[in-house]
């Protein structure tokens, strides 16, 4: 497999794992607004290329017909198999950004706010209703043609739901329906990165994967422990998700052998 990495601190860690495994890769910068890579990579085999870095790399992979390229995923909230497990599924309001100012009451409790898709316009977070309305009004004050790619847009679909108290949060990396590595990334309100997971949480995550096999060849799934038990938070694009304390040797090997052959160079 040919590995193309956008130069980030996280991808430099991935590069170290690739070095250890003897897997070839190249480092690049992404030219803003254009999406080209600098330097332009020499593609040896378009059917054996993977890219890691920002989510926008999917456009480069698509334009150059690279496979697997970037592992696209569907919005997790649309996956019926996962609806019973979702942390923010019950009672969620799905709304287009342009409808927020005239639909969302300003009075009421804070809400968890995030885009439905995994396009990284903004990170999911708890905000007051006034803050959410202000964000929507700011976006709507901009002409759609002037909004840069990767930003909230007038037609962005959002999910709003009641916040839940979380005790622990984990990220797990899934390749071909198998969890290959994991990391704790939050304990209560503290951000902590440790390569550990509770046994029941690991089994729960594998159950989620098995409940929706074929969702994607490779993806990231976040789960958590609440006072009501274990819950699924979301999925993320594996090519653009933070690594936290994951075992990158295991992740790199799993992806490099995805087609049953350990590609090199």
Distance, CA of 67 to CA of 45 (rounded, Å): 9
How do residues 141-177 score in pLDDT, each as one tens digit? 999 988 887 789 999 999 898 888 899 999 999 999 9
Task: Report the sign of the C-alpha dihedral through residues 91, 172, 254, 206, in that order.
Answer: negative
Distance, CA of 81 to CA of 56 (rounded, Å): 28
6 near 57, Cβ under 8 Å?
Answer: yes
CA distances from 89 to 15, 170, 222, 241 (A): 37, 18, 14, 22
* This prediction's pTM: 0.82
**Would you write out the chain's pLDDT as a tens digit for each of its 265 residues?**
999 999 999 999 999 999 999 999 999 999 987 789 999 999 999 999 999 999 889 999 999 999 999 999 999 988 999 999 998 766 788 899 999 999 999 999 999 888 887 666 777 788 999 999 999 999 999 999 888 877 899 999 998 988 888 999 999 999 999 999 999 999 998 999 999 999 999 999 999 999 999 999 999 999 999 988 999 999 999 999 999 999 999 999 999 998 665 444 3
Structural domain boundaries of the chain? 2-69, 73-87+164-236, 91-161
Alpha carbon 96 to its chain's center = 21
**Which of 3.40.50.920, 3.30.470.20, 3.30.450.40, 2.40.50.100 would CATH assign to domain 73-87+164-236?**
3.30.470.20
């Amino acid at each position: 497999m040919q590995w193309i990495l956008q130069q980030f601190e996280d991808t430099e860690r991935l590069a170290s794992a690739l070095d250890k495994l003897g897997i070839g890769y190249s480092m690049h910068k992404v030219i803003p607004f254009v999406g080209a890579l600098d330097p332009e990579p020499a593609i040896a085999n378009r059917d054996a290329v993977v890219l890691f870095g920002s989510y926008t790399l999917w456009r480069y992979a698509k334009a150059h017909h690279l496979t697997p390229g970037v592992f696209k995923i569907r919005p997790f909230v649309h996956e019926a198999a996962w609806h019973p497990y979702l942390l923010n599924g019950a009672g969620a309001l799905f709304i287009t950004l342009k409808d927020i100012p005239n639909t969302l009451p300003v009075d009421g409790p804070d809400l968890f706010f995030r885009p439905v898709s995994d396009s990284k316009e903004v990170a999911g977070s708890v905000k007051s209703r006034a803050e959410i309305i202000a964000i929507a009004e700011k976006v709507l004050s901009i002409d759609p043609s002037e909004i840069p790619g990767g930003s909230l847009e007038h037609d962005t679909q959002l999910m709003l739901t009641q916040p839940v108290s979380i005790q622990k949060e984990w990220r797990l990396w899934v390749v071909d329906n198998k969890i290959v590595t994991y990391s704790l990334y939050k304990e209560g309100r503290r951000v902590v990165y440790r390569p550990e997971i509770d046994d029941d949480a690991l089994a729960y995550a594998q159950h989620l994967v098995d409940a929706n096999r074929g969702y994607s060849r490779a993806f990231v799934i976040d789960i958590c422990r609440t006072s009501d038990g274990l819950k699924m938070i979301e999925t993320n694009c594996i090519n653009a998700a933070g690594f936290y304390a994951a075992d990158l040797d295991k992740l790199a090997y799993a992806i490099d052998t995805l087609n049953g052959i350990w590609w090199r160079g």
